[in-house]
């Protein structure tokens, strides 16, 4: 059951029409469905069944406090990549004992804070980071739990900008070097080897790369065992894709079953870090048509959302579905749906078949992940508001930024 549906001719999020939300809160407006978010997290949690596991939502996908809070209430873990994301998780009521910390550039202050609040594990990505973490944990008189993030050199078959598991990528350590790094970790006094981590990319739509990566990881766990290095968990990262257009990604259940089949009875606790698969299809971006601009070459629909609100089409040439909030019955035309920003790359969709009039509302689907979090103030555009719907209720979870908010941090030089 999808929670974004047409009811009485108007697109709704759960039981609230997007028209009424746009009326009440203006556009561009991000709208999320609580029920969808919950269903998606539970799909991963259920898929792993009785196998010991923790589903650590990747905060980067959508870090709004309300989103994190909804998931925290379900007992979610969280995958963070910065001190800022850690503070968000804490403020949203997340359990620091269920937080894993990923990322190639962890700073001293971020490590200290994470040690102080007692996170579950640091996913370490280099020798230099291992040494820094050992030093910082020592200074606090603590032992830091670590996984080494292994780069298994598999092609995730996704966009090159979001592929992370190839040798030439900055992420993780080569699988050939991992054993040595584990030996170093095991020998350092303020570290405790807790697990092994692997994440090969985002928006994966087939199981093969996941399975390939896991096989390489399992070989490594055997080598570690042979050396007496004990692991408690395997963190398989995130990356499961969603349907934007006509992709047919595996379901969380198929994915989990494929992983469990490889793991057989190895007994490790499984950690997952899904982001997009939980938040992506739990949100839409609502925008209003400001102008229709027919030219000799094509028709443009100029809308009030732009690349600063949703950069995925501009950055990755990503195709995202664009639906009329209240469909009209007339002959459709092909529109390039573009924003007001002064860049040719500022488009939300090209060649979309739509029936439009000035003032109409459109909804960009699958915008719940890597949407608002990647927004900017380019062209001095204030950030959109975010609303969470539950049933017939809608809550503003992030108020629209004002120009005053935006300018308040700046100053001109003194006379």
Active site residues: 342
Binding-site member from 199, 233, 365, 383 for ligand PLP (CB under 6 A): 199
Binding-site member from 102, 151, 281, 366 for ligand PLP (CB under 6 A): 102
Q: Which stretch binds ligand PLP (CB under 6 A): 126-134, 274-282, 298-306, 402-410?
A: 274-282
* Interaction partner, residue 312 (ligand PLP, ligand LYS, none; CB < 5-8 Å by kind): ligand LYS
Binding-site member from 14, 38, 79, 110 for ligand PLP (CB under 6 A): 79
Q: Which stretch binds ligand PLP (CB under 6 A): 225-233, 267-275, 346-354, 399-407?
A: 267-275
Chain centroid to CA 288: how far? 26
Minimum CB–partner distance for residue 56 and ligand PLP (Å) = 8
Nearer to ligand LYS, 191 or 242 (CB): 242
Minimum CB–partner distance for residue 369 and ligand LYS (Å) = 7
Of residues 341 through 370, those in contact with ligand LYS by CB under 6 A are 370
Binding-site member from 162, 211, 229, 406 for ligand LYS (CB under 6 A): 162
CB-based contacts of 161: which residues, under 8 Å, 6+ apart? 315, 316
Minimum CB–partner distance for residue 89 and ligand LYS (Å) = 17
Contact of 24 with 385, CB cutoff 8 Å: no
For residue 126, state whether it binds ligand LYS (rule: CB under 6 A): no
For residue 312, state whether it binds ligand LYS (rule: CB under 6 A): yes
Minimum CB–partner distance for residue 158 and ligand PLP (Å) = 9
Minimum CB–partner distance for residue 179 and ligand LYS (Å) = 26
Q: Would you say 275 is a known binding-site residue? A: yes
What gap in Å lies between CA 395 and CA 187, rounded to an integer? 51
Residue 333: Cβ within 10 Å count: 15
Q: Which stretch binds ligand PLP (CB under 6 A): 63-71, 260-268, 271-279, 406-414?
A: 271-279
Minimum CB–partner distance for residue 170 and ligand PLP (Å) = 11
- Annotate each residue in 20-59 with x if it binds ligand LYS (CB under 6 A) or - if it does not, as one string: ----------------------------------------
Q: How many residues bind to ligand LYS according to rule CB under 6 A?
A: 7
Of residues 201 through 230, those in contact with ligand LYS by CB under 6 A are 202-203
Q: Would you say 268 is a known binding-site residue? A: no
Q: Which residue of the chain is nearest ligand LYS when measured via CB?
A: 370
For residue 62, state whether it binds ligand LYS (rule: CB under 6 A): no
CA distances from 45 to 199, 270, 330 (A): 18, 11, 45
Binding-site member from 22, 37, 61, 144 for ligand PLP (CB under 6 A): 61
Residue 400 class from Cβ within 10 Å (0-12 exposed, 13-18 middle, 19+ buried)?
Answer: middle
Contact residues for ligand LYS, defined by CB under 6 A: 60, 162, 202-203, 312, 316, 370
Binding residues: 239, 273-276, 312, 316, 343, 370
Residues that bind ligand PLP (CB under 6 A): 58, 61, 79, 102, 164, 199, 202-203, 237-240, 273-277
């Amino acid at each position: 059951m999808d929670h974004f549906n047409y009811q009485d001719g108007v697109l709704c999020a759960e039981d609230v029409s997007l028209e009424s939300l746009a009326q009440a809160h203006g556009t561009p407006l991000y709208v999320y469905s609580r029920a969808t978010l919950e269903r998606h997290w539970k799909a991963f949690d259920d898929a792993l069944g009785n196998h010991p596991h923790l589903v650590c939502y990747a905060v980067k996908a959508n870090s709004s406090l309300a989103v994190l809070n909804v998931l925290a209430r379900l007992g979610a873990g969280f995958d963070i990549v910065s001190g800022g994301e850690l503070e968000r998780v804490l403020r949203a009521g997340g359990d620091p004992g269920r937080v894993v910390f990923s990322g190639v550039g962890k700073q001293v202050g971020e490590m200290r804070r994470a040690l102080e609040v007692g996170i579950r594990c640091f996913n370490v990505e280099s020798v230099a980071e291992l040494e820094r973490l050992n030093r910082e944990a020592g200074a606090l008189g603590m032992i830091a739990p670590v996984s080494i993030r292994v780069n298994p050199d598999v092609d995730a078959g996704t966009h090159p900008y979001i592929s992370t598991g190839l040798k030439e990528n900055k992420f993780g350590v080569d699988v050939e070097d991992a054993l040595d790094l584990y030996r170093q970790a095991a020998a350092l006094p303020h570290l405790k080897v807790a697990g092994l981590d692997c994440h090969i990319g985002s928006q994966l739509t087939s199981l093969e790369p996941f399975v390939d990566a896991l096989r390489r990881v399992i070989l490594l766990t055997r080598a570690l065992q042979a050396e007496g290095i004990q692991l408690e968990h395997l963190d398989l990262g995130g990356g499961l894709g969603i349907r934007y257009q006509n992709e047919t990604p595996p379901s969380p259940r198929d994915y989990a079953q494929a992983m469990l089949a490889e793991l057989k009875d190895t007994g490790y606790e499984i950690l997952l870090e899904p982001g997009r698969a939980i938040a992506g299809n739990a949100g839409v971006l609502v925008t209003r048509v400001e102008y229709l601009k027919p030219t000799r070459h094509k028709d443009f629909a100029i809308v009030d959302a732009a690349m600063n609100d949703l950069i995925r089409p501009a950055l990755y040439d990503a195709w995202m579905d664009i639906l009329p909030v209240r469909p009209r019955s007339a002959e459709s035309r092909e529109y390039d749906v573009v924003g007001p920003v002064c860049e040719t790359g500022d488009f939300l969709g090209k060649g979309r078949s739509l029936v439009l009039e000035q003032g109409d509302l459109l909804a960009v689907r699958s915008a719940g992940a890597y949407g608002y979090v990647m927004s900017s103030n380019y062209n001095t555009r204030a950030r959109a508001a975010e609303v969470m719907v539950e049933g017939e209720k809608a809550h503003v979870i992030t108020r629209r930024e004002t120009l005053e908010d935006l300018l308040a941090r700046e100053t001109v030089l003194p006379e």
